[in-house]
Amino acid sequence: MLGGARTLEDGRKAVPVFELMARRYLRDEHSPDAVAERVGISAATIRRIAAELAEAAFEQEIVVEQPWTDWLGRRHDRIVGRPVSMHGMRGISAHSNGFHTCRAIHLLQALLGSVDTPGGWRYKAPFPKPIPPGPKPAGVTTAPDTPLGGMPIGNPTGPEDLIVDDAGQPLRIDKAYSWEHPLAAHGLMHMVLHNAWAGDPYPVDVLMMYMANMAWNSSMNVPATIKYLTDKNPDGSYKIPKFIYADAFASETVAYADLVLPDTTYLERWDCISLLDRPISSAHGPGDAIRQPVCAPDRDVRPFQEVLIDLGARLQLPGFAHEDGTPKYPGGYPDYIVNHQRGPGIGPLAGWRGDGESFGRGEPNPDQLDRYIENGCFCAQDFPDDAQYMKPFNRAYLDYAHRMGWMPSAEPVIFQLYSETLQKFRLAARGHGAHQPPPEHRDRVAQYFDPLPFWYAPFEEAALEGGDFPIHAITQRPMHMYHSWGSQNAWLRQITSKNRLFIHDDLADALGVRDEDWIWVHGHGGKLRRRARRMRGTNPSTVWTWNAIGKRKGAWGLSQAAPEASDGFLLNHVISDLLPEREGGHRYSNSDPVTGQAAWYDLRVRIERCADQSAEGCVPAFEALDAPHPPPILQYGADVKADPCQAEGVPCREWIGNRHEYAASVEGLAEGHGGDATPKLKAAE
Amino acid sequence: MTDLPEQTERKLGLVIDLDICVGCHACAVNCKEWNTGGHSGPLTDMSPYGDSPSGVWFNRIHTFEVNDPETGTGRTVHFPKSCLHCEDAPCVTVCPTGASYKREEDGIVLVNADICIGCKLCSWACPYGAREYDETEGVMKKCTLCVDKIYNDSLPEESRVPACVSTCPVGARSFGDLGDPDSDVSRLVEARGGFELMPEQGTRPVNRYLPPRPRKGPPPQEASGPAEDRAPRMLDHDGGDPDGAGRIARWIDRALSS
């Protein structure tokens, strides 16, 4: 029975989470009629979508005729899938209510039974991990010339795991794992410069950063960030005395570094896309990959991985130096990729371990990188058929994952619909236990560490209630530059080198804005003067633009006249890094209160058409950096001109791009991949 | 001025599915990557890091919105465009030197850079704007259908397709003999209503575009069907009813124990 309450053997009373959920989510405030206006979707449509979800999950189940055994040893004849899948990406967690929104979506997936089933959402190896996953972050105790006792990031499971001092104040420069952002599993990179400048929680001697363009597109509030980097104390010394920065390109941040460590591009170094980090796995099985250098650097640069390994050895860190002081990885990063072991037999690459036959676990294999290169620089394996689905509770999968070292034991992964971790923090805020939040954070922790997901207005929006900022403003990365650190690339910038603020026709009509008009974009922390472009395919109350096109004049090896500087912009200029002041004058980071994730998407703006359309120029304008003198012309490949034609008698072949899908609807088209069908085309006689 | 073959043994060409192209430009970039070192390379870039970067591309993606004023709905169309290897290619017949030519064996339209004088007549004649003039070299360039890749026996067999086709992450591009009615690409064109671009120009292009599939209309607001009928029961908010929660919990119990 899932409803009601139970009395446990020891006399305590327990309430099943289903009863708690039913009590909460059946309240009128959660009804479609109560939320329709707020979300802009009619109550009837909300009901229809809910009914469609239920119908798809429970009446259109997908069955895979594959027996499997669950963690209790019970055998099931087939796998039943609940064909409901949901698509979302970083936008959801880029709101200050993002953590609970994500939890709400996952709660729905769990209730529909669509987690890791055919047609549903599926894990990719090495996930799922136990809930909560280990390890915990290290850093409560630190000492000079002493390595940190563990990983700097991790997953706290209660107030006792926070990185705070005896008074409950933050110990880390980013204030991660403090009462301000207790579950900051990724750290708070976006607060480091501000906090270092403010000397809060402590002033720094040296700040070292790698390839996060913090003086530009990786920071909120760019003008303030530049101040943090350049501000001085009354005695003339810098607030951030020394700044070391590694980058492959002459980014905006390079200009502020006391010491620049020039990095290679990925074509000039080894890389490892590891199961220990973010691998290339599919839902069908684990996979990892390498990059190999394809050309030698033609300038004085060094892969940053090698720099770190070298530094580790020089600092005599136990992971990087033998007891006699000699470096553990004299061969640099490829040496590390092959020989580093996270645990016995487990290293950065899973393929061809040991004698070359082992996947997952095995002694380091000196030929491992050669095997990867022979196989196209990747290694992938399929799960056994009976381990493909239901992974959190599938005996065959759990044993497999444990064997691979992905899980400390083969125990099932039990979903925490009711989060014990969150509740522990809430109880601490309510005065329980040895570790309690300082008074100034008590209410906030009590409110946001709700063990069941809930909705609340994003902080900036709530704080501006009554202010005149009616429009949401967001950004997205252009597809052609999505994973590119180098959007100044000579080819990519021919595709996009300037950006506009896209506005829905209806909103543009209301504002009197035409294509290419200059507009003011007011945020609560600043304003922008840029050009607009109208469109229909966007939400009428949301404006958007391409991210990271705008560059500072003179940066990235581009000429002073580059359109990226004169005609490109970032919304970052008007996104505030701090929330409006609260009682007592404290300003929290513009982030999720649980995870510390930066709330990039909370930006609210007001837009007006500029009265004087003839005035040229963008606001804010930044002082130009020194620009190089780039080449006037590029002719890649001119030296490798191919023979004009073909080898005699070589057959060419057909290729059907989406054969798997087309085969279902096109008569006579064979199933398979692009060129799987028998080649029908022969070369001319 | 330059003759076209009376007929070609095959009509190699591309089939581009506008329903699933997402406009990522991977085809255009991979095309440039292959071809800048290929038959008609280099694909020169002018002012590459300056105020007005422009270069030679054999494939370009045009993105625009198509709006229906009646319903107020619109859709974004990503339209990749390269040479269509026309059967009646006006770029060939207009060529004064024979540099532009159409191959008898497979119908591919190529430019022989050695005898091209850069007069640009072909680019004026092409109604699709598919020709690309290289100012630095003073010659006209264009899509070769990767003629140096599709027959290249130093590549593995599965790589012997045009660079734009093999790289497309969504499989929106197919390649084959559009002159053979039984070929897979011809079947695909037939089944999906593939169309010629601007047939009124009389160029008889070989490439085909597959139109967007009809969209499911929005469900009528007041419609009631099987799903809607059940919705109220499954979304029965308690409205102050003290037993509301109990009812849902009992329903979940039933669902899980059956």
ipTM of the complex: 0.89
The answer on pLDDT for A14 being more than 70 is yes
Nearest C-alpha in B relative to A506? B72
Q: What is the pLDDT of residue A90?
A: 83
Q: Which residue reads 């003839």 in tokens? A: A614
Domain B12-210 fold: Alpha-Beta Plaits (3.30.70)
**Model confidence over B179-198: pLDDT tens digits?**
999 999 999 999 999 999 99
- Among A18, A42, A479, whose Cβ lies nearest the Cβ of B22? A479
The H-or-E segment that residue B77 falls in is strand B73-82
Question: Is B68 near chain A, with CB under 8 Å?
Answer: no
Which letter does DSSP use for residue A51 in this model?
H
Which parts of A179-255 are beta strand (E)? Answer: 206-210, 242-247
- Tokens 């609560």 — which residue? A524
Same structural domain, A347 and A397? no
Task: Establish if A586 belongs to a structural domain.
Answer: yes
Instruction: Please give the backbone phi and psi of residue A91, each rounded to the nearest 5 degrees, phi first.
Output: -55, -40
Asked if the Cβ–Cβ distance from A654 to B183 is below 8 Å, we say: yes
Alpha-carbon distance values, A383 to A42, A122, A210, A264, B172 (Å) = 43, 13, 36, 36, 29
In this predicted structure, the answer to whether residue B133 has a pLDDT above a threshold of 90 is yes
pLDDT confidence tier of residue B251, bands split at 50, 70 and 90: low
Which chain B residues are within 8 Å of A31, Cβ to Cβ?
Answer: 235, 237
Q: Which helix (H) or strand (E) holds A288?
A: strand A287-291
Question: Which amino acid, one-letter code, is at A290?
Answer: I
For CA atoms A31, A36, A38, A40, give the dihedral sign.
positive
Q: Which residues in chain A are contacts of B10 at CB distance < 8 A?
A: 681
Taking alpha carbons only, the member of A595, A597, A576 closest to residue A587 is: A576
B212 interfaces chain A, CB cutoff of 8 Å: no
Shortest alpha-carbon distance between residue B94 and chain A (Å): 23
| A286 contacts A277 by C-beta, under 8 angstroms | no
Q: What separation in angstroms does the CA of A178 have from each of A167, A575, B257?
A: 11, 24, 43
One domain, residues A324 and A380? yes
Q: How far apart are CA B166 and CA B172, in angstroms?
A: 10
Same domain, A593 and A670: no
A612-652 confidence digits (pLDDT tens): 998 777 888 899 998 788 899 999 999 886 665 555 667 77
Which domain CATH number covers A481?
A: 2.40.40.20
Residues whose CB is less than 8 angstroms from the CB of residue B45 and which lie 6 or more positions away in sequence, other chains included: A490, A491, A494, A633, A634, A635, A636, B53, B54, B55, B56
Interface check for A557 against chain B (CB to CB < 8 A): the answer is yes
Beta strand pairing status for B12-17 and B208-210? parallel
User: What digits encode the pLDDT tens for the residues A540-596?
Assistant: 999 999 998 999 999 999 999 999 999 999 999 899 999 888 767 788 999 999 999
A358 and A495 fall within a common domain: no
pLDDT score of A145: 86
Q: Are residues A463 and A605 in the same domain?
A: yes
Residue A37: how many other CB atoms lie within 10 Å: 10
Contacts of A638 in chain B (CB under 8 A): 41-42
CA B99: distance to chain centroid? 27
Does residue A664 sit at the B interface (CB-CB below 8 Å)? no
pLDDT score recorded for residue B239: 47
Q: Which residues on chain A are in Cβ contact (under 8 Å) with B171?
A: 656-659, 661, 674
Comparing A146 with A674, which gets the higher pLDDT?
A146
Measure CA A196 to chain center: 24
| A650 has a chain B CB within 8 A of its CB | yes
Q: How is B1-51 classified by DSSP, letter by letter?
A: --PPPS--S--EEEEEETTT-----HHHHHHHHHHTTSTT----EESTTSS
Q: Are residues A471 and A562 in the same domain?
A: yes
Average pLDDT, rounded, for chain A: 92
A18: chain B residues, CB-CB within 8 Å: 249, 252
Give the Cα separation of B18 and B80 in Å (integer): 9
What is the maximum span of chain B, computed from C-alpha positions, in angstroms? 90
pLDDT for B222: 45
The strand pairing partners of B66, in sequence order, are B75
Q: Is residue A213 part of a domain?
A: no
- Does residue A97 belong to any structural domain of this protein? yes
Across-strand partners of A633?
Answer: B46
Pairing of strands B173-177, B139-141: unpaired
Determine how many CB atoms are found less than 10 A away from the CB of residue B167: 18
Cβ–Cβ below 8 Å for A22 and B188: no
In a domain, A87, yes or no: yes
**A395 and A361 within one domain:** no
Identity of the residue in B37, B53, B166 whose CB atom sits nearest the CB atom of A640: B37
What's chain B's Rg over C-alpha atoms? 26
Q: Do A473 and A578 fall into the same domain? A: yes
- Distance between CA atoms of B122 and B95, rounded to whole angstroms? 6
Residue with tokens 């309450």: A5
CB-side exposure of A243: number of CA atoms within 13 Å?
21
Q: What is the pLDDT of residues B66-84, one digit of tens each?
A: 988 887 777 899 999 999 9
The H or E element that residue B92 is part of is: helix B90-93
Amino acid (1-letter code) at residue A289: A
Residue-range domain boundaries for chain B? 12-210, 227-257
Higher-scoring residue by pLDDT: A134, B216: A134
Which one of A566, A592, A609 terminates a domain? A609
CA distance A191 to A595: 13
Are A465 and A543 part of one and the same domain? yes
* Arithmetic mean of pLDDT over chain B: 88
- B253 pLDDT more than 70: no
Cross-chain residue pair A491–B45, CB shorter than 8 Å:
yes
Residues present in chain A in total:
685
**Residues constituting chain B:** 258
**Is residue A349 one of the residues assigned to a domain?**
yes
Residues 6+ apart with CB under 8 A from A681: A651, A652, A653, A654, B10, B12, B176, B177, B183
A55, amino acid identity:
E
For residue B123, is pLDDT > 70?
yes
- What is the rounded CA–CA span in Å between residue A169 and residue A178? 7
Contact A643 B219 (CB under 8 A): no
Confidence (pLDDT) at B257: 60
Q: How many CB atoms lie within 10 A of CB A574?
A: 23
- Owning domain of residue A657: 642-685
Using DSSP, state whether A31 is helix, strand or coil. Answer: coil
Q: Mark yes or no for CB contact B55/A667 under 8 Å.
A: no
Task: Yes or no: say if A560 and A554 are a contact pair by the CB < 8 Å rule.
Answer: yes
Residue A267 in contact with partner chain B when CB distance is under 8 A: no
Q: Are residues A514 and A558 in the same domain?
A: yes
| pLDDT computed for residue A685 by the predictor | 41
DSSP three-state, residue A496: coil
> How high is the pLDDT of residue B233?
45
Looking at the fold, whether A476 and A591 belong to one and the same domain comes out as yes
Looking at residue A647, its pLDDT comes to: 54
Angle between helices A439-448 and A420-429 (to 10 degrees): 150
A–B: how many Cβ contacts below 8 A?
A: 279
Extended beta strands in B122-183, E state? 132-134, 139-141, 173-177
pLDDT at B224: 47
| Together in a domain, A545 and A677 | no
CB A501 within 8 A of CB A532: yes
Per-residue pLDDT tens for A434-461? 999 999 999 999 999 999 999 999 999 9
Name which of A419, A417, A428 is nearest A450 in CA terms: A419
Last residue of a domain, one of A336, A352, A386: A386
The tally of domains found in chain A comes to 4
Residue of chain A whose alpha carbon sits nearest to that of B39:
A644
- CB < 8 Å to B177, chain A: 654, 680-681
The string of pLDDT tens digits covering residues A60-108 is 999 999 999 999 999 999 999 999 998 888 889 999 999 999 999 999 9
Closest Cα of chain A to B1: distance in Å? 23
What does the pLDDT look like over B82-99, one tens digit per residue? 999 999 999 999 999 999
Q: Is residue A290 part of a domain?
A: yes
- Measured between alpha carbons, how far is residue A338 from residues A272, A289, A316, A361 in Å? 10, 13, 21, 13
With respect to residue A49, please indicate whether it lies within any of the assigned structural domains: no
Alpha helices in A415-456 (DSSP H): 420-429, 439-448
- Domain membership of residue A508 (yes or no) is yes
Residue B235 has pLDDT above 60, yes or no: no
A550/A574 Cα distance (integer angstroms)? 14
DSSP codes, A52-101: HHHHHHHHS-EEE---EEBTTS-EESSEEE--------HHHHTSTTHHHH
Distance between CA atoms of A541 and A674, rounded to whole angstroms?
A: 42
Report the gap between the CA of A13 and the closest CA in chain B (Å): 17
**Residue range A480-494: average pLDDT?**
89
Its pTM stands at: 0.91
Amino acid sitting at position A635? Q
